[in-house]
Amino acid sequence: MKILRLLPFIGLILAGLSFPVFSAWPAWGKMNVLATTTDLAALARAVGGERVEVTSLTSGLQDVHFVDPKPSLIHQARRADALILVGADLEAGWLPPLLGSARNGKILPGAPGHVDTSKAVKLLDAPGAGVDRSQGDVHPQGNPHHWLDPINAVAAARLIEARFARIDPGGRSYFKGQADDFERTIEKRLPEWQARLAPFKGRRVLTYHRSWDYFALRFGLVVAGELEPKPGIPPSAAHLARLAQKIKDERISILIKEGHYETQSARFLAERTGLRIVELPLSVGGAPGVETYERLMDVLTETLRGAFQGAGR
């Protein structure tokens, strides 16, 4: 079954792209593409192939919520023909000032070159009205970590395909072929990734931040809680004490955390409960050899399978 049949709303998105084409792409050049994350850069390379030059504004090891819009990034944004972002306000703290300094109309919101991939997927955890800073670093539009579901990655790739074709009409069929290949690869690999974690369906895990909701939903895991009492707020002693009791009561064996978060709180819980800390790369480039989206999913599913097998509960 084609993955896009599971995403009826993506057709509406693609059908609604009625931006004017600014100009045909020069036959001798490549489209200069920026991505806010390494994951989106990987999708852009998969779709754009030899017709694009792709740069990520961040590394796979850093917290993309917090980026310093350095002059070098502004220079890159000034030269870009397309900008691909996660959206849902993940980059809200640093991308708007970067775009304001770059003054590049091709990649501003509303232009064909401004590609917000959150518009291609159904976001989880939208808090709705009444959100304020007392609730922590809450994203009013929903959880922005949507790329960790492979089906969402296909939806994002299809949106990228459509926008690349608007900017470079001569490459339309090429981009479609590339996106078709990426979709077929995900269709082939997804059952394999799911099979690795199928024996642990329904297992409850803790995470440090609310980064793993999409991944957990796709692969049958249950996120039972977070080390952060509120998004972006470090855990207090009282919160850790409540989590320690929860771990014992619910027989939680695994904590998933990213490398850029502090380790002291996780170690505290591990020492008192036997909780196993599993450090996973959140993005492409977040671990050695993780250079493609497919390889990211390989590492995530392989590592978690080993962790569950070793945890013994």
Rounded distance, CA 28 to CA 47, Å? 19
pLDDT band at 127 (very low <50, low <70, confident <90, very high): low
Interatomic CA distance for residues 28 and 104, integer angstroms = 22
Q: What is the pLDDT of residue 24?
A: 46
pLDDT digit string, tens, across residues 29-61:
899 999 999 999 999 999 999 999 999 999 999
In angstroms, rounded to a whole number, what is the distance separating the alpha carbons of residues 262 and 232? 12
- 114-116/31-35 β-pairing: unpaired
Q: Identify the domain boundary among 189, 213, 235.
A: 189
Residues 107 and 229 in one domain: no
Residues 6+ apart with CB under 8 A from 165: 171, 172, 175, 176
- Specify whether 130 is located in the same domain as 272: no
Residue 254, domain CATH: 3.40.50.1980
pLDDT digits (tens, 9 = 90+) for 221-252: 999 999 999 888 889 999 999 999 999 999 99
Phi-psi region of 232 (alpha: psi -120 to 50; beta: other; left: phi over 0): left
**Among 241, 231, 42, residue whose Cα is nearest residue 148:** 42
The residues facing 32 across adjacent strands are: 53
CA atoms within 13 A on the CB side of 287: 16
**What's residue 260's pLDDT?**
87
CB 235 within 8 A of CB 213: no
For every residue of the chain, DSSP letters joined together read --GGGG-HHHHHHHHT--PPP--PPPTT--EEEEESSHHHHHHHHHHHGGGEEEEESS-TTS-TTS----HHHHHHHHH-SEEEE--TTTTTTTHHHHHHHH--GGGSTTSTTEEEGGGGS--S----S---GGG-S--TT--S-GGGSHHHHHHHHHHHHHHHHHH-GGGHHHHHHHHHHHHHHHHHHHHHHHHHHGGGTT-EEEESSTT-HHHHHHHT-EEEEESSSSTTPPPPHHHHHHHHHHHHHHT--EEEE-TTS-SHHHHHHHHHH-PEEEE--SSTTSSTT--SHHHHHHHHHHHHHHHHHHH--
- Do both 74 and 157 map to the same domain? yes
Q: What is the pLDDT of residue 126?
A: 74
Please indicate, yes or no, whether residues 201 and 292 belong to a single structural domain of this protein: yes
Q: Which domain holds residue 223?
A: 193-311
Residue 109's pLDDT is what?
Answer: 97
Question: Is there a single domain that holds both residue 234 and residue 156?
Answer: no
- Cβ contacts of residue 2 below 8 Å, gap of 6+? 183, 187
Reference 273, options 240, 224, 308; nearest CA is 240
- In a shared domain, residues 285 and 148: no
Q: Is the pLDDT of residue 292 over 50?
A: yes
Cβ neighbours of 276 (radius 10 Å):
18
Q: What is the pLDDT of residue 141?
A: 86
* Residue 94 sits in the same domain as residue 228: no
Last residue of a domain, one of 189, 206, 221: 189
**Lowest mean pLDDT across 106-110, 232-236, 267-271:** 232-236
- The mean per-residue pLDDT over the stretch 134-141 comes to 58
Domain co-membership, 13 together with 132: yes
Last residue of a domain, one of 158, 189, 220: 189
Q: Are residues 59 and 174 in the same domain?
A: yes
Alpha-carbon dihedral angle through residues 304, 281, 145, 195, given to the nearest 10 degrees: -30
Same domain as 277, residue 139: no
C-alpha closest to that of 313 among 148, 209, 200, 220: 200
Total count of domains within the chain = 2
* CB contact at 8 A, 100 and 129: no
Task: Please give the pLDDT value at position 311.
Answer: 79
- Residue 125 pLDDT: 85
If asked whether residues 23 and 121 sit together in one domain, one would say yes
Within this chain, do residues 179 and 226 fall inside the same structural domain, yes or no? no
